[in-house]
Structures are given as structure tokens and as C-alpha cells.
Amino acid sequence: MKAGNVYLQDLSRGIINENPVFRLLLGMCPVLGVTAFFINGLGMGIAATAVLIASNVVISALKNYIPSQVRIPCFIVVIATFVTIIEMVLQAFQPDLYEALGVFVPLIVVNCVILGRAEAFASKKPLLRSLVDGIAVGIGFTLALGILALVREVFGQGTILGPDPDSAIQLFGAGFEPMGLFGQPAGAFIALGLLLGVVNIIFKKFNIK
Amino acid sequence: MREILRLALTLTAVAVLSASLLTGVNIVTEPIIIERQEKDYHQSLERFFPDVDHFETEEIDGDQYDIVYDQDGEMLGIMATVETAGYEAGLIYNLAVNDQGEIKGLVIVSHAETPGIGDVITTDEFQEQFTGKGFDDPIEDGEDVDSVSGATLSTGTMIVSVRRTVTTIGENFLDKQIRAFDPTEVADGIYQGSVEGTHGILTVEVEIADGVIERVDVIEQNETEAYFVDSYPKIPERIVEEQRLEVDTQTGATLSAERIVSAVEKALEEAPTVENGGDDTDEGR
């Protein structure tokens, strides 16, 4: 196998075969918490991706200097540092998104997707592959959040690009009664379950493992 | 030994690196965040006081009170920035009160209440029930404002805090006086009063003898124990010592403490007054 293919493989594995949400069911807390609106879901995905890429790179670069006994606290400190940076940057430059994501931004620290990649991949693999892995898993996570949030927003609110009334597009006429359930956390479970079913059917059909 | 030292050094190095990185980012973002918060504050100020020209800042008990004036130096009202304990972390809000002591509006500046539960405090529906209420209104849960069931802690704390802020503003800036309770007006006797507590009824017994509050006892309660022990017996002691009901309720169990005070208030409200010459009974109504 050619060397270039390793990166391509990492990329497709992170996005499709081992999609953190649809295949591994990791990091469910933000997945269910912030996906009532597409913009929020996407914002959360991008914030988590930024943290994931940064922590993957740094942890991969430091892997030879960190003794295995204290690796988990070191990983957590690295991740927490980047989360705090993201939090401060969001608060300064994207205050609306910061408000909308609320407590879920600091909670990225304990998102098991990120610690999972640090432990399972970045701490063992070379820097460049860890970077690709971070990008891939991040895209996979963002994609899943985006799809789930889109479904929930369309059914639960009848809009896309809400909740800001300036950008929100009403999809249906005035007579449309949104399915409030999909706006609620319980509806997130139901929507996620249905999406998982659809993803499984697609995977079976194309024989992807 | 060498091994342990190596582990400790690694952890220290990682922590130091992290701290210096965060300090750097903070230096860059902090002024922007503060500037934005000030802009937001001015927007709320202009929303509640359209004629605002300038304001003077006073600090009381660590909270900030801006006295708002129009161009002619006429006082329009007060905008308070208050920090109170939220469910998880501190909760900061602005309360705009006009020169009559009436609430013009409420803005939550920052909070960390539970998403989908405690964050109802940010909804218009919850906030608007305060609008127009003022110094002379009870602003009490179940009386003229309502907490939200399922989020009783977040909303209940807000109600108590708004009440306190309105009182502070009224007393300090608007020359209002709380209708002071005078124990000498109450006939001697033992009175009981109850209020709704955390998990059930809270009942107090108050003994008045010769116009003096002799004793306050909590005879029934079902408060959260870890919190409650802090406020009891401090609050009854303070009431007996100061002979008034406006005692400091900041005990670490403020909600329970406030409840003890309101129960005592209830007990004395229902108590008969001393007949000193039948002053207001035969007015011929």
C-alpha cells in the first residue's frame, strides 16, 4: 500500500467507518444537547473539531515525553487548555454562539470523542497522521451534529438557519404546527435513533464495515 | 524516587505550559469581552431608560447600582448589576427600576443554569412577571410572581434576589421605608406561622411578652439538612437580638433563612394587636 493512502484511509475511517456519533456513539452529551438548531449544532461541531485537531497534534508531538503513568491527566490538561481558549475566543468574537452553546462549551473537555482519539490514536501515531485523524473525526462529528440538528430543526421548529429571526427561513406556511417534541431533549433521542437506523440501512446496502 | 520526580516534573511542565498559553489568550480576548459587555450594558440601559444621559455608580454589598440621569440631571431610575448564587455557579443580572421604585425590566447577563431546566430564567415569560412590580409589592413566590415548577431553585432564587434588590434600591436611593414591624403593637401570646419550604411546610412559633420578641422556634421543617443547619439557629437568634424582622439572611442557606423570616412575619400578621385606646376601631366606617 502506498504511503499516501494511509492518510486517505484515516480520513474516510474518521468520517464514515468510525464516525464518532453514528458508528461509535461517542460524545452523546453535546450531540443531544445543542442540536435543536442547525447553526448551534454546526457551531458545536466546529468548536469540538478545533479542540480535537489541536489536542491531537499537541499530544502526538508530546507523546515521547509523557510517561504512560500520567498520560491521562496530561491529556486532560491539554484538552482543557484548548477548550478554555476556544471558550474565550468564542466569547470575544462569536458572543451569540457562545450564549447559545452555553455550558456545553466547557463540557467539550469531557467529550469522550476527544479523549478517546488522544488515547487511542494520537498518543501512538505520528504527528501528521494524528492531524489527519483529528480533521477526519472532527468532520465526522460535525457532519453528524449538522444532520441531526437539521432534522430536528425542520421538524421541531419548521425553520432552517434559526433561531436568529433575521436568518431563519420558514420552510412551511403559517398553518404549520411544529412538532415540539423534536425541539426537546427527548426528541433528540428519537431523532438520533431514527437517523442511526437510516445510517445502518445505508451501510448494509453498500456493505461498508 | 527518581521516577516519581519525573512524573511530577512532567505534570508540572504541562500545567505551566497550559497556564502561560491561557494567560496569553486571555490578555488578547479580555479587553474585547469587557468592551462587548459594556456595549450590551449600554444597550439595555437605553432600552429601559431611553432618555439616559449619564449615570453615577454606587456600590452596596458588592453589587453595582447605577443611578441614571437624563440631560437635565433629573433622576430616571436605577440600573442594578447584581450577582446572586445560581444553581451551579454565580448568576449576574441587571435590574432596571424607575424613580418610583417600579421594575422596568430584567436582563440576565450571565448564568450557568441547567439547559432546558433552570435557564427558563432567561425567558421573557418568566422575566415579564416582574415588570411593573415595585417596592410596595410583595414580590413573593406564589403571591404576585410565580416560580417555575421543575426549576424551583433557579426561579425561586431569582425572585428572592429581585425582591432584595428592589428593597435595597428603594431604601438607599428612593427614600422608601419598609413598614417597620413593631413588637410593642402585638398583644402578648404565642403565635404560629407556616410557609412552604423545600420539601414541606416550615412552621415557626413566636413568643411575644411585654412587647418583646422573647423566643422564635422552628417547630416543623423539612429543609435540606446540610443547608438548614447553617441558618438555624442563627436567624431566630438574630430576630430576638435585633427585635426586628429585617435581619441579615446571608447564611449560606439563604432560602431557608428567608423562609424562617417569612414564617415569623406570617405568625405576627395574624396576631391580635394591643388595644391602646381603640385608635382605629371606631372611625365610623
Q: What is the distance, to the nearest Å, from the Cα of residue A90 to the centroid of all Cα atoms in its chain?
A: 17
- Tell me the β-bridge partners of B194: B203
Count the neighbouring beta carbons within 10 Å of the beta carbon of residue A11. 17
Residue B96 lies inside a defined structural domain of this protein: yes
Distance from CA of A71 to the nearest CA of B (A): 9
Q: Which pLDDT score is estimated for B250?
A: 67
Give B-chain residues touching A89 at CB under 8 angstroms.
25, 29
CATH number at residue B242: 3.90.1010.20
Residue B54 lies inside a defined structural domain of this protein: yes
- B84 and B189 share one domain: no
pLDDT-derived band at B251, boundaries 50, 70, 90 = low
Distance from CA of A84 to the nearest CA of B (A): 7
Q: Which residues contact B132 (CB under 8 A, 6 or more apart)?
A: B102, B103
Q: Which pLDDT score is estimated for B177?
A: 65
The three-class DSSP label of residue B102 is: strand
What is the count of residue pairs from A and B with beta carbons less than 8 Å apart?
A: 57
Distance from CA of A59 to the nearest CA of B (A): 11
Running DSSP on this structure, what letter comes out for residue A108? G
Q: Which pLDDT score is estimated for B280?
A: 44
Tell me if the bond preceding A165 is cis, omega within 30° of 0.
no
List the single residue in A with minimal CA-CA distance to B110. Answer: A99
Give B-chain residues touching A92 at CB under 8 angstroms.
28-29, 32-33, 36
Instruction: Check whether B282 has a pLDDT greater than 80.
Output: no
Q: Cα Rg for chain B, rounded, in angstroms?
A: 24
Our CA dihedral for A29, A30, A32, A37, rounded to 10 degrees, sits at 170
- B97 and B193 share one domain: no
> For residues A4 and B97, what is the distance between their CA atoms, to the nearest angstrom?
67
Residue B31 lies inside a defined structural domain of this protein: no
- B53 and B167 share one domain: yes
pTM of the model: 0.66
Q: Which residues contact B118 (CB under 8 A, 6 or more apart)?
A: B86, B87, B111, B151, B153, B154, B155
- B188 and B100 share one domain: no
pLDDT digits (tens, 9 = 90+) for B165-203: 998 888 888 877 665 567 777 788 888 888 887 778 888
Q: Can you give the length of chain A in residues?
A: 209
Q: Are B283 and B250 in contact (CB under 8 A)?
A: no
Looking at the complex, does the CB of residue A173 fall below 8 Å from at least one CB of chain B? no
Looking at the complex, does the CB of residue A131 fall below 8 Å from at least one CB of chain B? no
Q: Which pLDDT score is estimated for A176?
A: 74
Q: Are A73 and A66 in contact (CB under 8 A)?
A: no
Q: Which pLDDT score is estimated for B109?
A: 86
The boundaries of the domain holding residue B243 are: 183-269
Residue B125 lies inside a defined structural domain of this protein: yes
The three-class DSSP label of residue A187 is: helix
pLDDT-derived band at B214, boundaries 50, 70, 90 = confident
Q: Cβ A81–B18 below 8 Å, yes or no?
A: yes
- B104 and B134 share one domain: yes
> For residues A131 and A56, what is the distance between their CA atoms, to the nearest angstrom?
6
- B191 and B241 share one domain: yes
Inter-CA distances, A88 with A108, A124, B25, B26, B278, Å: 14, 30, 8, 7, 67
- B166 and B190 share one domain: no
Cell of B156: 425561586
Q: Cβ A92–B26 below 8 Å, yes or no?
A: no
Cell of B188: 402578648
Q: Give the mean model confidence (pLDDT) for residues A128-147.
A: 93
Instruction: Check whether A104 has a pLDDT greater than 60.
Output: yes
Cell of A14: 474518521
Q: Are A145 and A37 in contact (CB under 8 A)?
A: no
pLDDT digits (tens, 9 = 90+) for B123-164: 888 999 999 888 888 888 878 888 888 788 888 889 989 988
Q: Which residues of B touch A (CB under 8 A)?
A: 6-7, 10-11, 14-15, 18, 21-22, 25-26, 28-30, 32-33, 36, 88, 112, 114-116, 119
- B152 and B254 share one domain: no
Place of cell 515521547: A64
Q: Which of A65, A67, A85 sits opposite B25 (nearest CB)?
A: A85
- B165 and B225 share one domain: no
Residue extents of the structural domains in chain A: 15-162+176-203
> For residues A66 and A63, what is the distance between their CA atoms, to the nearest angstrom?
6
Cβ-count burial of B32 within 10 angstroms (0-12 exposed, 13-18 middle, 19+ buried)?
Answer: middle
- B197 and B168 share one domain: no
Q: Comparing A113-127, B10-24, B81-95, which segment has the lowest mean pLDDT? A: B81-95
pLDDT digits (tens, 9 = 90+) for A167-208: 777 777 767 777 778 878 888 899 999 999 999 999 899 877
Q: Which pLDDT score is estimated for B285?
A: 38
The enclosing H or E element of B57 equals strand B54-60
Average pLDDT, chain B: 83
- B112 and B155 share one domain: yes
Give A-chain residues touching B14 at CB under 8 angstroms.
62, 66, 74, 77-78
Instruction: Check whether A94 has a pLDDT greater than 70.
Output: yes
Structurally, chain B folds into a number of domains equal to 2
Residue B63 lies inside a defined structural domain of this protein: yes
Instruction: Check whether A1 has a pLDDT greater than 50.
Output: no
Instruction: Check whether B211 has a pLDDT greater than 70.
Output: yes
Q: Which pLDDT score is estimated for B278?
A: 41
Looking at the complex, does the CB of residue A80 fall below 8 Å from at least one CB of chain B? yes
pLDDT-derived band at B259, boundaries 50, 70, 90 = confident
Q: Give the mean model confidence (pLDDT) for residues A56-75.
A: 91
Q: Kindly provide the residue ranges of all beta strands, DSSP E only, lying in B86-220, ordered along the sequence.
A: 90-98, 103-110, 189-196, 201-209, 212-220
Q: Are A97 and B35 in contact (CB under 8 A)?
A: no
- B67 and B154 share one domain: yes
Q: Cβ A88–B116 below 8 Å, yes or no?
A: no
> For residues B206 and B236, what is the distance between their CA atoms, to the nearest angstrom?
9
Its ipTM equals 0.76
The backbone region for B192, taken as left when phi is positive above 0, alpha when psi lies in -120 to 50, beta otherwise, is beta
pLDDT digits (tens, 9 = 90+) for B68-78: 998 888 888 99
Give A-chain residues touching B21 at CB under 8 angstroms.
81, 85
Q: Which residue has the higher pLDDT, A127 or B210?
A: A127
Q: Which residue has the higher pLDDT, B246 or B100?
A: B100
Q: Give the mean model confidence (pLDDT) for residues A160-166.
A: 73
Q: Cβ A70–B10 below 8 Å, yes or no?
A: yes
Q: Give the mean model confidence (pLDDT) for residues B257-280.
A: 71
pLDDT-derived band at B17, boundaries 50, 70, 90 = very high
Q: Give the mean model confidence (pLDDT) for residues B34-55.
A: 89
pLDDT-derived band at B115, boundaries 50, 70, 90 = low
- Of B64, B59, B86, B88, nearest in space to B254 by CA: B86
Q: Which residue has the higher pLDDT, B82 or A101?
A: B82
Q: Which pLDDT score is estimated for A165?
A: 67
Q: Which pLDDT score is estimated for B178?
A: 60
Cell of A144: 453528524
Q: Which pLDDT score is estimated for B284?
A: 39
